[in-house]
Structure 1
Amino acid sequence: MIHPRTLRVDYGQTTSVICVVGSELNVNLNRSAPPSSKFFSVKCTSNVQYSISPPPQETSHLSPIPLNGNSVLLISMNQASQHENDSKLSVRYYGENKEVLGKAVLHLTAVEISLDVDADRDGVVEKNNPNKGSWKWGPNGHGAILLVNCDSERTYWKKPDSEKDHVYKVSDLKDMSLMVLRTKGPAKLPEGYKLTMHMSQGDAESVRVFMTRTTGIRNNALQKLLYESFTKDYPLVLSSEVLSQEVPYLGGEAEMKFYVEGLRFPDKDFDGLISINLSLLEPISAGLPETPIFTDTAMFRVAPWIMTPNTLQPLEVLVCSTADNYQFLKGMRNLVANSGYKLKICHEYVNRGDRWMQDELEFGYIDSPHHRFPVVLDSPRDGKLQDFPYHELLGPDFGYVTRVAEREDVSSLDSFGNLEVSPPVTVNGKNYPLGRIIIGVAFPTATKGRNMTKVVQDFLWAQKVQEPIALFSDWLLVGHVDEFMTFVPAPDRKGFRLLLASPDAGYKLFRGLQNNGHGQGKLFEGLKDEEPITVDEILNDENLQAENNYVQSCIDWNRDVLKRELGLDDEDIIDLPILFKLETEDECGTTYRAVAYYPDMVNMIVLGKNLGIPKPFGPKVNGRCALETEMCSLMEGLGLSCTFIDDFASYHKLLGEVHCGSNVRREMFDFKWWNLEM
């Protein structure tokens, strides 16, 4: 990359100039010539290169060159000086008769200056990458990557490292991006010249820069900064309080390391791009400000928060222990143990009776060429589990992020049972190798309705790499997308199936039972405090049929959206036999929203090829629940094993199921987000 710089010279004077290797000095010869000048000539030492624009017509190199009104001398140097002013260039000006009218002399000092980052994204900070000052997506793209330093090196009195203005431990440096200032030249810069690192006020809200302490720092302000304020070995250089700071020129061939710390994720008001600049300043005169004569720029993009779908391998399952969920917990322990994963139980002294582990948090991660770690997104629901993500999960290499909303803006749709992500898909030729985020909102034509709060939606959209899809979920009493859909792995087609709750499939199953003489089979048989109901009674309930016709129309609307936005065919979708019923939500009895009639089997936990499914307590045929039989038939064709977990009293009756009461931390994608084609 060539950095051009206009240089002013005066005839009759000797001017000392610094030339940065890789830059070009442009001298307007006519502007600096004596009056009546008609010709000029140029002489220089061997390590100075020059050319003239426009090129002169052929003439002897010893003959003066005609001076045009737009004659420009282009000067460059291709290697650093060993000593100050060790190179020279002179320009002679001639009159009409080629008499000498004046002479301008330049004493040149060449220095190499490069502010370097991992612009090619291979984990190594290469020297002077020509693309380091810009960002481009894709496998052939460029631009460095910055992590938000949202984990905590402290395990007590902890808070995210990004909230501390110092390096607490050396291990914290791995969460930051390395930036290297490389210089080469004489032992010191000419008197008055200095190097300054700087960034804009807008960028400074999102990033901090630390440096490795060096010896021989001559700037008193920086010495004071190092001594008074920050960790002794890694002083803070740039922040929202310090936008510009002199940095040392070490002399000879030297490198100085800086560590760049991300402070916030991309959001509505922040596109994730950060620029850091290094300028060489030239003194003009005592009492006057220095002026920049060379600037090098490095650009970073802050890594997005990425969700993990059901098709990725589980690492850890989280559930709550409460006074009344022993049966559920027993089933979960067996499922997780048999699946070979780790179970983390949040006990009642921590959860304070809040059992909805899925609703409080969502697991994701952040990734860069040099480091990656999980990051939990804390929902704004802030139930009694609100302290769990921060106090129990935040730690070394485990990050935390949340979005705070006004309490009056928060609804049930802000719980993260209403936040899912698809497996990777290709839609109309566009690839989504990290899948697409799925949220539930009010129907587009609704004048009143509940929506996921704007601050969370803005955050999700701003991550860019998992472009969200908005579904209609406000028809449900709780209002979560996990009440009518989920994804399971599959060995064929797209590598997964979309499972949808389907009242139509439920009625088809029950009519088949009735036709086969099982109309007196009972749902909820043997359940304490639950009135059994026969298949015949369900099929004869016209109001229930009408309610489920409405529910099916809502699910079908979402089905069409999912087919369109995920590029699915009907063969990629499996309908599960689940009925719903409508309940009034307000005192006037005018707002009707749906809840599952029996345990909602789509609201499951996916652990590899093992599924933990709410036990539906359906009518028995030959001693086996017909709903379980149907579910096993649908899933076993995909090589999946079904385990039915009794959550009836402790979750279903409280309007949730297995998925609502659990959470899964999964492995991260192999695919690197920066290779996305945007």
Structure 2
Amino acid sequence: MAPQNAVQLSLKKPTYAVCVVGIKTYVDVRSDVPKGAKAFGVSGSSGVGIIMVYDPARVTEPAGKSHWPLDADVDVTITVDTASKDLNDLKVKVSYFRQDEDRALGHSVLYLTGVDVSLDVDTGRKGKVKRSRGDKKTWRWGPEGYGAILLVNCDRDSPKSKGLDLADSKLTTLDDLKDMSPMVLTCDGPDKVFDSHKLVLKVPLSDARRVGVFCARGGNSLSNYKQVLGPQHLFYEVERQPGEREISFYVEGLAFPDTNFSGLVSLSVSLVDKRTLLEVTIFTDTVAFRMAPWIMTPNTQPPLELFVCSVVDAHGSNEKFLRDLSDLVSKANCKLIICPWIENRNDRWIQDEMEFGYVDAPHKSFPVVFDSPRNRGLKDFPYKRILGPDFGYVTKEIPFAGASGLDSFGNLDVSPPVTVGGKEYPLGRILIGSSFPKSGGRRMAKVVRDFLKAQQVQAPVELYSDWLSVGHVDEFLSFVPTSDQKGFRLLLASPSVCLRLFQEKKEEGHGEAAQFDGLKNQAKRSINEMLADRRLRRDSLHVQKCIDWNREVLKRELGLTEQDIVDIPQLFYLQGPYAEAFFPDMVNMVVLGQHLGIPKPFGPLINGRCCLEEKVRSLLEPLGLHCTFIDDFLSYHKLLGEIHCGTNVRRQPFPFKWWHMVP
């Protein structure tokens, strides 16, 4: 470690210096030397380490009564082992000699006071602060990595707070401390040395709006916790009490990683000699933190809560749909939360409004809802009803222009963990729908895409979804968990599989079996009619090409093979340049563990059973999945959405710790 302080000696009077435990101090032995001196010797009291720095090729270490040559490049550095009990209780003596003489020509005396100053955080990522003399200013990824972690304090622990906890410069509840990362300042030494020296805690200007620090003085009173660093405070002169050896701090994150913010922030403490007009910094200790990213959870994670809206429209209420979902939730052993009409204002598309994720640090984890910029009837629901104690909130506003349909979060998904060409993505990869490359069509807003990319741990993949009328990826893909070694399957909507199925049924003599049989106010279409409908066939085969393009991207970017993909029969038709599902889109399902809530397709009945349902069961039930077909025709399908669009699931976080990966 390079010396951080230098001391110049004098023959005429003793020199006094403060040394920080474990830190090398350079001693200038050449500035004031007796006339005729050619050599020198150094001695020190117990507790002082003396280190001679020289080039062995040019200088021979003295033996016996010989001394170090003054004219060679021999430097002296010293260290102290522990904090002093009293002022100036350590001593270093430098004696000067003529060539080959034992009688000293003069002496310089240095009196030292050892102080122990160290700023420490949870660099080992164990959930506790441990004293470290290693590299604390560097942050490294991976299982062998190190460096402390901050949670963005984006929940609201106190009902008295009007906004997020990170907006409060005063502590409103002691529970809020649990969201913060501990930091300990060691400041041991004689009290008198701190009369002439001060400790200054600092945050760089660039980091001040992204991190807050509270000083803790113990006790259960909120007044014992004071914000000392943050957007309005760049430095803090530490108020050390007599005899105090350690001072506790709590550090909170104020911003997620984003376009111009890597997620790294630093804090430092400096020991400053204030006895001179130009105060001299003797020592600085710096620690680095990385902000915990926002992490999405895929369908393969176990469900905790399913959210759905209660609505009433021209077709009536969705009460029957809610009952069917309630039965499914009971089977999956998770919780059903119904957003009432008065809160959703008849906006049923709760998947589009928000996405559930979480943040994770060694000391704590909590869920965080990402509120989309779509801002329709449900716009206040995530902030007013989900934000709360240990439930965070984040959003990204679109500047200058309103949100497009592709900014809704039905257009946001995430894969299960995958390995691609030897590179592991243990938290999966985010999938967002976009325009065809270089086509200039609709695309998710840049502020949202940039935010997702900046989290680093779920490297996003852009897919082509602009061919759809609504334009969301959940209209043609879904992931389901399996109990085999792969652990999941990718489901893709497939017009070609559907046309092939209908052709098979026709050849078996069921050509008059009709699509939409049993639905009121909906024209039936026999298998023969559908196969003979050139427009329906042409439109569906156009859609198949769009899905096939995505298929190749998904195979390449997620490391999938054909065996990892299941094709779900589905037909589409074009309205102008955009496609819509011809019958309820079965891929747009809700996944609750092994239990799937699939839009009821109302396919042709053969021997009393829907051939589309039977086909899907034959594909998914051998994988250990249970298929429940739910009627969403009037309440969702006719409005260009399905079950996934009208539901939202909060899931268990990954057991894998994001800091163990290497982006």
TM-score in terms of structure 1 length: 0.93
SS in 2 for 1:23: coil
- Name the counterpart of 2:434: 441
Deviations 1:196-228 (A, max 9, x none): 11110111111010011379xxxxxxxxxxxxx
Q: Which deviations, in whole Å up to 9, do the C-alpha atoms of 1:420-450 show, x marking residues without a partner?
A: 111111111111111111111111120x211
Tell whether 2:257 aligns with 1:257.
no
Match of 2:366 in 1: 373
- Residues 533-584 of structure 1, C-alpha deviations (whole Å, 9 max, x = no match): 1111111111222211211111011101111111111011000100111112
1:235 maps to which residue?
226
- Of 131-140 and 664-673, the range deviating more from structure 2: 131-140
Q: Normalising to structure 2: TM-score of the pair?
A: 0.95
Query: Which of 264, 269, 283 does residue 278 from structure 1 map onto?
Result: 269
The corresponding residue for 1:225 is none
Which of residues 291, 294, 307 in structure 2 aligns to 1:318? 307
Q: Do the aligned residues in 2 keep the contact of 1:131 with 1:142 (CA within 8 Å)?
A: no
Deviation at 1:105, TM superposition (A): 2.1
User: Which of 586, 589, 592 is the matching residue for 1:601?
Assistant: 586
SS in 2 for 1:108: strand
Q: Secondary structure at the match of 1:564?
A: helix
Mapped contact 1:13–1:103 kept (Cα < 8 A): no
Q: Distance in 2 between matches of 1:58 and 1:406?
A: 70
Paired residue for 1:646?
Answer: 631
**Quick one: distance in 2 between partners of 1:261 and 1:157?**
17
Q: Contact conserved, 1:183 with 1:251, CA < 8 A, in 2? A: no
Are 1:51 and 2:83 matched, yes or no? no
Question: Is the Cα–Cα contact under 8 Å of residues 153 and 165 in structure 2 kept in the other structure?
Answer: yes
Point out where structure 1 has 5 or more consecutive residues left out of the alignment: 216-229, 585-591
Task: Show the 5 A alignment for 1:475-624.
Answer: 475-584=467-576, 592-624=577-609
Partner in structure 1 of residue 621 of structure 2: 636
The CA distance in 2 between the partners of 1:517 and 1:60, in whole Å, is: 108
Pick the aligned partner of 1:672 from 640, 657, 663.
657
1:183 aligns with 2:168: no
Is 1:120 paired with 2:124?
A: yes
Q: Which residue of 2 aligns with 1:296?
A: 285
1:463-478 counterparts in 2 under 5 A? 463-478=455-470
Supply the AA of the counterpart residue of 2:522: E
- Give the AA of the match of 1:203: D
Partners of 1:65 and 1:419 lie apart in 2 by 71
Structure 1 residue 529 displacement after superposition:
2.3
Give yes or no for contact 1:184–1:253 (8 Å, CA) kept in 2: yes
Q: What is the alpha-carbon distance in structure 1 between the residues aligned to residue 162 and residue 493 of structure 2?
A: 43
Decide whether the 8 Å contact of 2:598 with 2:643 is kept in 1: yes
Contact 1:119 1:129 (8 Å CA) reproduced: no
**Structure 1 residues 86 and 580 mapped into 2: Cα distance closer, same or farther (>3 Å)?**
same
Q: Does 1:73 align with 2:76?
A: yes
CA drift of 1:633 comes to: 1.1
Going from structure 1 to structure 2, the CA distance change for 1:214 and 1:9 (only over 3 Å counts) comes to farther
Give the Cα–Cα distance (whole angstroms) in 1 for the partners of residues 526 and 248 of structure 2.
74
**C-alpha contact 1:24 1:75 (8 A) present in aligned 2:** yes
Identity percentage of aligned residues: 51
Distance 1:352 1:409 in 2: 20
Equivalents in 1 of 2:35, 2:125: separation in Å?
55
Rounded to whole Å, the distance in 2 between the matches of 1:641 and 1:191 is 73
SS of the equivalent of 2:453 reads helix
**Contact 1:184–1:251 (CA<8 Å) still a contact in 2?**
no
Deviation of the 1:156 alpha carbon:
5.5
Contact 2:3 2:26 in 1 (8 A): no
Name the residue aligned to 2:39: 39
Checking the alignment, whether the CA contact within 8 Å between 1:449 and 1:474 is kept in structure 2 is yes
Shift of 1:38: 2.6
User: What amino acid sits opposite 1:283 in the alignment?
Assistant: K
Is the 1:188–1:249 Cα contact (8 Å) retained in structure 2? no
- Corresponding residue for 2:23? 23
Match of 2:344 in 1: 351
Specify the SS of the correspondent of 1:376. strand
The question of whether the paired residues in 1 share the 8 Å contact of 2:8 and 2:29 is answered with no
Q: Per-residue deviation at 1:134? A: 1.6
> Could you tell me whether the CA contact under 8 Å between 1:183 and 1:252 is conserved in 2?
no
Maintained 8 Å contact 2:66/2:100: no
SS state at 1:546 partner: helix
Q: Secondary structure at the match of 2:385?
A: helix
2:412 aligns to what? 419
